[in-house]
Structure formats: C-alpha cells, structure tokens
Amino acid sequence: MKIEQIYTGCLAQGAYYITSNDEAVIIDPLREVQPYLDRLERDNVKLKYIFETHFHADFVSGHVDLSKETGAPIVYGPTANPEFEAIIATDGQEFTIGKIKIKALHTPGHTMESTTYLLIDEDGKDHAIFSGDTLFIGDVGRPDLAQKAAHMTQEQLAATLYHSLRDKIMTLADDVIVYPAHGAGSACGKNMSKETVGTIGNQKETNYALRANMTEAEFIKEVTDGLLPPPAYFGMNVAMNKQGYESFETVLNNGMRAIAVNEFEAVAEDSGALILDTRKNGVFATGFIPQSINIGIEGDFAPWVGALIADVKQPIILVAEIGQEEESVTRLSRVGFDNLIGHLDGGFEAWAKAGKETDTVNRITVEEFKNEVKIGESKVIDIRKESEYAAEHVDEAYSKPLSNINDWVKDIDPKEPFFLHCAGGYRSMIAASILQARGFRNFKEIEGGFNAIAQTTIPKTDFVCQSKTL
C-alpha cells in the first residue's frame, strides 16, 4: 500500500493517489488529468475508483475527465445527485482496492453530501481518513456554503457537522492519520494549519472544534463566528463539479491560441474580453497594455482571479511571460475560468516593440514613501486582510481589504491623492491595475508593502479604529 498526497500550493489543495497491488484510487483530483494518467502508466496500475469527498466550491475537480479517460467510476457519498453517471455510496459502504478497503463515512455539515473516506489497511486496521472539507488540520469546514442547496441555515449545518465529527470521526483511534482536502490559505475554513497531515489524537488536543466536552451550542458559535463572505465564484464551481464541464484539453487549446499584436485590440473588443496580465507585479508596473488587470501567476493566482473577476464565464485574453502561457491557462481552468480567447503572441514585449500604447503604475520606494507621507494628513490605504491590519499598520491608515475592492472603490475621491500598499506588493499591484482600469490616477503604490514599511521609522500602531471611513 502506498499513499501520496499531491498538494497544490496556489489552491492550498490536497489530492490523494493510493495504490495497493496493481490497483489505484484517486481522491479529489485536480482539473488537469494527464499527470495522473502518466503516473498510472508509470506505476503499471489500473485506476479502480475516483472518490470525491463533496461538490467542491473552490476548484473544479478532474473527476469527469479522469473517468472518461480511464473508465473508472466516480464515487460520491450519500445524498449527492450529480448530473453524470456515478456511484452514490451508502453510509458504511466499503470498496476494495488491491488488499485494502476504503469505507465511506457520511459526514454532512460542510455540505450535505460531504463524505469522509476511511482507509482500512491489509491487516484490517483503520489506517487513515481522507476528510475532504469536513476536518482540516486545526479547523473544520465552514458551514455556510451549502445553505441554499440544503435549505438550511449555517447554524443548522454547523449542528449537523458537530454530530458528524463526534459520531463518525472522533470515535476513531487516535493514531488514525488525517489527510484533509485543504491547508492554510484556503477559503473553505478560517483557522487552518500550515500542516497538511495530522492524526485524530493530535486534532483532539489542538483543534478548537474538536475540544473535549464542547457543547453543540459552543461549537455552532465558534465555527460560525468571524466567517468572511465566500468568494463569488464558489457557487459556479459547485455547479461545474455537479453538472460536468468542458474538457480541459479544449480549454487548453483555446487558451494557447496565439493572437498577433495587430489583431489583439479587435479580438478583445469583439469578444468583450478582459485582458489579464499574469506577469510579476514589478514587471507589470513598468509597462502594460492599458485597461489590463494584473494578477501574477507567481502568487495566489487562481483564488484571486476567482474572487475578483468572479464570473467564470467572463471572456479572457492573456498577457503572460513567454513560456508561462500554458501554466496561466491551467491555473485558470482549475477555478472554472474556461472562456479563454487566447493569449498575446510574443507577450508584452511584442506589443511595446510594435509601438502600441502602454501604461505604467506610479510605484514608489519605501524611502520615497517615508519622505512624502504625513501621518494624520496623507491618506494611506492598506489593502491587506483585516487581521493583518489589526496586527500592525501605519498610523491613521485605512483598512480596505483587496477582496472588498468592488465595494470600497466607489468611495474613492478621484481628486484626492493617496498611498496604496499590501504586505509585499502582489495584492497592491492587483488593486492598482483595477483602479487604473476604472480611471483612477491619483495614487502611489508602495514597493515592498508593509514588509518594507515595518523596517522604517514610519509611525505604526496596532490600534484599530472601527469608525474610520474613506
């Protein structure tokens, strides 16, 4: 028996590849399935089942394409109702793979079809659980995502999750390994650890939601407290995972269509496409196609695309570093952005060389910021998360998280100058590109963000003024 966690950092997502003898299963696969097919061929094993822990909201799984390529059936837990052929397991149903078994444990709460898969080893011993979004390391799945589909409140779903954890998971032996679907950085929970593997015993000791003698009312209050609104694309990804989707190969072929410089503007206008520039923020600042949005591929690319573009059907044309076009397409497809028109042939360099119009961001160094800012007079907008802001921020700075930019941008005075920063420059360049695309030119973005500011004598505080408005 061999278990391999295939962890994708930009999604904070864990898929699992398990083999026993000459058979294999894959749990919660990513959208692009060729790496799995290559691995199966290399290991000379047959894929027997594809297990899905639930209808994922934060990414599009590869279950449909993988099943078509291999003939392996897709398995969901009780109450799932996918619009394609699948095995709907009963609670407690066991599946044999080589010399091991995988037992479906229905653990509703995050979603009503959520199922934890218990691996029973060759000796008949409970070895590990693949808990999906039911149990994370340090956290549990948020209970507010499935309210509409389940016709339940988040409190009712939380109560259901409470009993799933205590009746199905906490009754397992302490040495049973926990393999969750996500780690820190995912929006499917609020307090996940950076660790991506644990044990039942360790989680009983360290996970706030598995505290001994915790009442149902206490659990509901703690699990639902402080939940941020889910990204807008979540519901669309659920629908794709439930209904099926276009082949990844088709999406890739469309995205890899090279659009010549002299055709680019006409194609963008005719298609109504958003121009998405995936280059590094420092490179983007020095020159880009007007009206384009920068979300760098070397960061939390897919989640930010999902959170800020939101509509997965939005037509997109890519501007990428030469050689990074396929990676950009792949990452977009993982969160369901399939309506790709193509990419700029030759990248931004070809555009600039052709003498086309370009734009820049007014990015300043932290030393320039130090010399120019006047605490109490200058407007400083901090677009980090509220928790980052609360830990420490520039005195008198405004907390305006990037995730809420579509709400607070309407409060910006286009004539009043301001400074803009995040932690290191990645998020603030996203914000800068959005602001400039909407006509704002009255700001300076700070290179290095608060990480650089923290090393200066610029006055800082951890006092949070809740009433501060733009």
pLDDT over threshold 50, residue 467? no
Portion of the chain with pLDDT greater than 70, in percent: 99
- The counts of H helices and E strands in the chain are 18, 26
Q: How far apart are CA 112 and CA 123, in angstroms?
A: 32
Q: Are 192 and 136 in contact (CB under 8 A)?
A: yes
Measured between alpha carbons, how far is 318 from 395 in angstroms, rounded to an integer? 38
Question: What are the start-end ranges of the E strands in 41-91?
Answer: 46-51, 74-76, 87-88
Neighbour tally for 140: CB within 10 Å: 32
Per residue in 414-443, pLDDT (tens digit) is 999 999 999 999 999 999 999 999 999 999
Q: What is the DSSP string of 374-425?
A: -TTTS-EEE-S-HHHHHH-EETT-EE--GGGHHHHGGG--TTS-EEEE-SSS
Q: What share of the chain is helix, strand, coil (3-state, %, to 5)?
A: 35, 20, 45
- Per-residue pLDDT tens digits for 182-230: 999 888 888 799 999 999 999 999 999 999 999 999 999 999 998 888 8
What DSSP element (H or E) covers 136?
Answer: strand 135-136
- The architecture that CATH gives domain 363-461 is 3-Layer(aba) Sandwich (3.40)
Contact 452, 368 (CB under 8 A): no
| Pick from 215, 210, 281: nearest CA to 432 | 281
Between the alpha carbon of residue 192 and those of residues 8, 177, 197, 274, the distances in Å are 15, 17, 11, 33
User: Residue 344 above 60 pLDDT?
Assistant: yes
Q: What is the CATH code of the structural domain delimited by 246-353?
A: 3.40.250.10
The DSSP 8-state label assigned to residue 270 in this structure reads H
Report phi then psi at 29, rounded to 5: -70, 155
63 token code pair: 């279950």
- 33-56 pLDDT tens trace: 999 999 999 999 999 999 999 999
The residues spanned by each domain of the chain are 2-233, 246-353, 363-461
* pLDDT at residue 470, rounded to an integer: 73
Query: Among residues 363, 356, 362, 302, which one has the least CA distance to residue 328?
Result: 302
Q: What is the CA radius of gyration of the chain?
A: 24
Identical fold for domains 246-353 and 363-461, yes or no, is yes
What type of residue is 456? Answer: T
DSSP code of residue 252: H
CATH of domain 2-233: 3.60.15.10
Judge whether residue 310 has pLDDT over 90: no
